[in-house]
């Protein structure tokens, strides 16, 4: 099951650039939460702070509290542990090109030391079914490389890879922006199904996509969280003029 995340007073920097300023945000468990905002507003930095990927950049740092359930991810757990509990899917599918579909899906498990063949087989099937890819690849799991799949299939394989380690939270940074409408629709259907089991945070430039998949939406601007509310409220009657200007295209 997913776990709720509570962000309190989160600040992040790249060198001297203050990219996130005092972010406070409750992300409810087993819901999809969308983050929208113009390029460079800090939304990708924000999600990278949720699995401690932000700190992998040597000039980056973050302060504040990110609670996942009862755990403060910056105090009570190691980055490796957090990244196992928080899966991430990126804008462009990033399969390991030399690995088969099977090995791509279980790569995280293998890194964590799992070797039991039966468990690995079951995990591959479960993850690929959850990612709505099983029927399309079940006969080629070890024959085809992950890179030989179509873009949409690769992205679903990457989602299966993220799910294979049994995370509680799934972060998706523009997961459908490089996909055609049919593949996009499959990813959105997937998000809709997965949120009953996982807490999902999705960064998107596509506001219709946010409206379709997320219960709650946050609007970022210049490193600040301008407004966070139910998606319905944000897209029909936002409180803040800046939110309205952005979503109606009156920005700039």
Cα 192 from Cα 186, distance rounded (Å): 10
Q: Output the smallest distance, CB 202 to another protein, in A.
A: 18
As to burial, measured by CB atoms within 10 angstroms (0-12 exposed, 13-18 middle, 19+ buried), residue 1 is exposed
* Nearer Cβ to another protein (113/249): 249
Core vs surface per residue 48-64: b (16+ CB within 10 A) or e: bbbbbbbeeeeebebeb
Q: Output the smallest distance, CB 238 to another protein, in A.
A: 6
The separation between the first and the last C-alpha atoms of the chain, rounded to the nearest angstrom, is: 41
Q: Output the smallest distance, CB 205 to another protein, in A.
A: 13
Q: What residues line the site for another protein (CB under 8 A)? A: 207-208, 235-238, 243-244, 247-252
Q: Output the smallest distance, CB 252 to another protein, in A.
A: 6
* Nearer Cβ to another protein (154/231): 231
* Nearer Cβ to another protein (17/236): 236
Q: Output the smallest distance, CB 230 to another protein, in A.
A: 12
* Nearer Cβ to another protein (12/211): 211
CB within 8 Å of 140: residues ≥ 6 apart: 101
CB within 8 Å of 95: residues ≥ 6 apart: 104, 145, 146, 147, 149, 154, 157, 158
Q: Output the smallest distance, CB 221 to another protein, in A.
A: 15
* Nearer Cβ to another protein (155/209): 209
* Nearer Cβ to another protein (154/217): 217
Q: Is 24 left (phi over 0), alpha (psi -120 to 50) or beta?
A: beta
CB 46 within 8 A of CB 10: yes
For residue 17, list its beta bridge partners.
14
* Nearer Cβ to another protein (46/246): 246
Report how far apart, in Å, the C-alpha atoms of 116 and of each of 63, 123, 141 are: 39, 11, 17
- Other beta carbons within 10 angstroms of residue 173's beta carbon come to 20
For residue 1, list its beta bridge partners.
none
Q: Output the smallest distance, CB 212 to another protein, in A.
A: 11
């Amino acid at each position: 099951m997913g776990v709720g995340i509570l962000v309190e007073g989160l600040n992040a920097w790249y060198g001297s650039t203050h990219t996130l300023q005092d972010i406070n945000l409750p992300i409810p468990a087993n819901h999809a939460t969308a983050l929208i905002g113009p390029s460079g507003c800090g939304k990708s930095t924000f999600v990278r702070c949720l699995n401690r990927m932000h700190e992998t950049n040597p000039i980056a740092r973050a302060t504040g509290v990110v609670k996942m359930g009862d755990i403060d991810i910056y105090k009570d757990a190691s980055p490796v542990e957090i990244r196992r509990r928080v899966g991430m899917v990126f804008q462009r599918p990033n399969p390991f090109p030399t690995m088969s579909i099977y090995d791509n899906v279980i790569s995280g498990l293998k890194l964590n030391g799992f070797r039991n063949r039966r468990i690995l087989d079951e995990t591959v099937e479960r993850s690929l079914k959850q990612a709505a890819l099983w029927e399309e690849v079940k006969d080629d799991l070890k024959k085809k490389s992950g890179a030989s799949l179509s873009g949409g299939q690769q992205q679903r394989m990457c989602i299966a890879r993220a799910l294979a380690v049994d995370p509680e939270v799934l972060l998706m940074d523009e997961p459908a922006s490089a996909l055609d409408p049919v593949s996009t629709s499959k990813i959105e259907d997937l998000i809709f199904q997965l949120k009953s089991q996982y807490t999902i945070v999705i960064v998107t430039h596509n506001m219709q996509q946010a409206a379709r998949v997320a219960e709650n939406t946050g609007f970022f601007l210049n490193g600040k969280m301008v407004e966070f509310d139910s998606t319905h409220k944000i897209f029909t009657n936002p409180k803040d003029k800046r939110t309205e200007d952005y979503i109606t295209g009156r920005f700039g």
